Amino acid sequence: MDMHHLVRMANQIGEFFQVMPDHAEALEGIANHIRKFWAPRMRLQLGQHLAEHAGEGLLPIVKEALAVHASVLPH
């Protein structure tokens, strides 16, 4: 899948959850959504993008959610 598309989708998820008053709950919501609804191949690509390009283009809250909930991304 195109990385720009994955980044855009991840950021849309981040935008949805970042308005939550509880920051920890927002991070968990982002991670859970990606875990439940993204195919393993998509999560692998996102993890590679984080490792190789420092998650360029991702919202800070998305990067934080993936760092805090690292088990979301396959190794």
Please write the tens of the pLDDT for every residue from 20-54: 999 999 999 999 999 999 999 999 999 999 999 99
User: Does pLDDT of 75 surpass 70?
Assistant: no
Q: Tell me the two tokens of residue 54.
A: 């420092």
Determine contact, residues 24/51, Cβ cutoff 8 Å.
no
The pLDDT score that the predictor gives to residue 34 is 98
pLDDT at 1: 83
Say if residues 17 and 29 touch (Cβ distance below 8 Å): yes
Burial class of 37 by CB neighbour count within 10 A (0 to 12, 13 to 18, 19+): exposed
pLDDT at position 74, please?
85
